[in-house]
Structure 1
Amino acid sequence: MTNEASRRRLRRLMALSLVGVVFTVAVILVGVFTRLVDAGLGCPDWPGCYGRLVVPDETRALAHTPEAPLETFQAWVEMVHRYVASALGLLVIALVVLGAPLRRRPDYPWGVSLALLAVILVQGAFGAFTVTLKLWPQVVTLHLLGGLSVMLLFLWLHLRLRRFAGGRLTPGGVAPPRRPLTPLWGLAMLLLVAQIALGGWVSSNYAGIACQGFPTCNGQWWPAMDWSEGFHLTQSVGPNYLHGQLHADARTAIQMGHRLGALVLGLSLLLLAMRHWHEARLRPWLGALAGLYVVQLGLGIANVLLWLPLWLALLHTAGAVALVIAMAMAVWAWREAEGVSALQQSTKKEWVHV
């Protein structure tokens, strides 16, 4: 393959990976919309809908699954989600096929491409389990985390492709070293993942308005809560988790756990910003993390006070996605700082040698 052909291929890969980031965000939000309008079981089977690839009429649906009457709107919402998710899978396959001729080049992110393919396949399986296990909260929460993982892998692939296109290798033909993550970075990332998982757990157990009022919950600072039932992760499957099965005290515990998680996450992000604010490369992303956290906190409070309107719940999910992207970019800026410095030092040595 000529250099010009490689450059064209690389430009296509970078464009497709960036499209993948945007497309994945759209798929996540469509999935959240599907759950919020109670369309998660709009089609009782998978991958079709009442045995067909498009939503059938009521007569055919009744003949296929008599115990699940057709709700046309919910069924179409569910099928649109499946269509866009399938298109995302095709995009991943296209990236892997297009990048295969470059896989042996130094620093080409072939491993990231394969990881993306593996995760999208697992994500498809979780999409099926969401239906077949009747919205089991564990599966719904993992499905959300899987969607965010796909988005992150698209983003990481795009950043790695840009670095590869820039040809930033040492004279020895290897990638310059990257700065390792410190325990503080690891803690902030872990808490962000945990908080998003808690948010998914709140949503999948319909605990979004288990607490009335803020900052108190149902008029109390520490209301009656059933933590063991609220976070019982090994309960049996089914028969159907639409609208949830937990009692009020268990849902209250889930809501309070999410609130406490938000507080701890905010403290960790504040410590991270204070520790690294002096680094110019990190400052924009640390500022973005702080700003998005404040916005997300406000959206969460508004969701409680306004009784979880659809548009506001979608914005809250979008805020979580934006936080994940900002964290990923901050981590990238942190790790790349040492690589850029090492490359500059290596270039200087080469010039001195010449």
Structure 2
Amino acid sequence: MLIQLAILGLLVALLPLTVVWASKDANKFRKLAWVTLFLTFDLIMFGAFTRLTDSGLGCPDWPGCYGHANPVAAHGQISAAEAAMPHGPVTVVKAWIEMIHRYLAMAVGVLIVAMMVIAWMRWFRTARPARPRVPVLPTLLFGFVCLQGAFGAWTVTLKLQPVIVTIHLLLGMGLLGMLTWMAAGQNAHAPVAADGRRLRLAAAIGLAVLMAQIALGGWVSTNYAALACTDYPLCHGALVPKMDYEHGFTLWRQLGMTAGGDYLPYEALTAIHWTHRTFALVVVAFFGWLGHKAMRIDGLRRTGRALLAMVALQFLIGVATLFLNWPLAIAVLHNGGAAVLVVLTVMLNYKANLSAGTRPVRAASSTCPA
């Protein structure tokens, strides 16, 4: 089964690798970095779709499906589980959604391995003093994607335990950010005014604030607390509703349960939801200020404008999910908006660091072999 899964991962990765190989871009590594970034973004979107369609346990084992490499071979077991519980976690459709998500994850892993191998080959083949920096970032990406895979496995084996699923989401966003930094390092950038160095600390704080909000959003999603408040800006008709923070933010517990094994009270779901929506106001205010500052600096204007536009759009999407009763398409789009904000914030950090005169992080030069 493991060999079959590895072959499937290679086959899925074959298409983007072919696109990179056939590209007219002389820097194949740069093309590979941007293609991998794009597919990782797609993987995050499809992961959100998997989670929001309750397909995370569509195949209740890992890495295969009932011990098989694909749902076709496991059709008998899946059909039996669906017949026993037609609206349960295991159905034919959910099994396919879950396995497609795993195939995409394996393909991204293959691309990251390819980048690491190419970067190290380039490093070993280039004589000093022309030798590039040791490819630390591609190697870290490999370790990071292995860790992400482990949390993907635990997501299934621990039956969607909220803290595990939330960490899995955060690691996915972290992987996206690291790929953004590496891809940015392969491109030539317009000079950034010296004033840009003043934004280094603010941009770093912005990334930390954004990841905190994504963690809160993941906690909302993994605890199914999205509709704990259906009105806005009030919640249950109150500015500060009745909430249970003790149970809502106990991290190590089973889905829908307290640490003591009782059903999670509704006030706990309210606390989770209200905290996320309230902290969103902090994010909007901070990023509004950060984007405005970036727009006044040469070399950062486009990134600043994009950041302002995306933060406003993301806030509107979040409010729309409440008034439209959390439709699937908009919920997935909300996750995608968070991913776009990660990309933009990392790009702002990268450019602000360039303005300080630091050397770009390059994994390979323009002559890197394909």
The answer to whether the 8 Å contact 1:296/1:319 transfers is yes
Cα distance in 2, alignment partners of residues 99 and 161 from structure 1: 12
Residue 84 of structure 1 and its aligned partner are, at CA, apart by 0.8
- 2:335 match: 317
- 2:36 match: 20
1:185 aligned to 2:203? yes
- 1:172 match: none
- 2:286 match: 268
Residue 58 of structure 1 and its aligned partner are, at CA, apart by 4.6
C-alpha RMSD of matched pairs (Å): 3.1
- 2:171 match: 146
- 1:173 match: none
The answer to whether the 8 Å contact 2:294/2:303 transfers is no
- 1:348 match: none
**Residue aligned with 1:162, SS:** coil
Q: 2:316 is matched with which residue: 285, 298, 301? A: 298
List aligned pairs for 1:149-228, cutoff 5 A: 149-162=174-187, 179=197, 182-228=200-246
1:130 aligned to 2:155? yes
Amino acid at match of 1:114: T
- 2:67 match: 51
Query: Mind listing any 5+ residue stretches in structure 1 that lack a counterpart?
Result: 1-7, 169-177, 342-354
Change (3 A) 1:16 1:109: farther
Moved more, 93-102 or 105-114: 105-114
The answer to whether the 8 Å contact 1:10/1:161 transfers is no
Cα distance in 2, alignment partners of residues 281 and 340 from structure 1: 15
**Residue aligned with 1:45, SS:** coil
Q: 1:36 is matched with which residue: 52, 65, 74? A: 52
- 2:92 match: 72
Cα distance in 1, alignment partners of residues 358 and 28 from structure 2: 25
Cα distance in 1, alignment partners of residues 356 and 25 from structure 2: 29
Change (3 A) 1:288 1:259: same
Residue 305 of structure 1 and its aligned partner are, at CA, apart by 0.8
What is the aligned residue count?
A: 320
Moved more, 105-114 or 70-79: 105-114
The structure with the largest alpha-carbon Rg is 1
- 2:135 match: 110
Residue 284 of structure 1 and its aligned partner are, at CA, apart by 1.4
- Deviation per CA, 1:141-180: give whole Å up to 9, x if none: 11111111221222211122336xx9x9xxxxxxxxx958
**Residue aligned with 2:187, SS:** helix
Cα distance in 1, alignment partners of residues 144 and 199 from structure 2: 24
Query: Mind listing any 5+ residue stretches in structure 2 that lack a counterpart?
Result: 1-23, 125-129, 360-370
Residue 340 of structure 1 and its aligned partner are, at CA, apart by 8.5
Amino acid at match of 1:17: A
Amino acid at match of 2:76: T
1:89 aligned to 2:109? yes
Cα distance in 2, alignment partners of residues 182 and 254 from structure 1: 31
**Residue aligned with 1:134, SS:** coil
Amino acid at match of 1:283: R
The answer to whether the 8 Å contact 2:293/2:304 transfers is no
Change (3 A) 1:300 1:236: closer
The answer to whether the 8 Å contact 1:134/1:239 transfers is no
Change (3 A) 1:109 1:270: farther
Q: 1:100 is matched with which residue: 114, 120, 130? A: 120
Cα distance in 2, alignment partners of residues 133 and 49 from structure 1: 16
Residue 291 of structure 1 and its aligned partner are, at CA, apart by 0.9
Cα distance in 1, alignment partners of residues 37 and 175 from structure 2: 8
Identity %: 36
Cα distance in 2, alignment partners of residues 340 and 112 from structure 1: 16
Residue 317 of structure 1 and its aligned partner are, at CA, apart by 0.8
The answer to whether the 8 Å contact 2:295/2:302 transfers is no
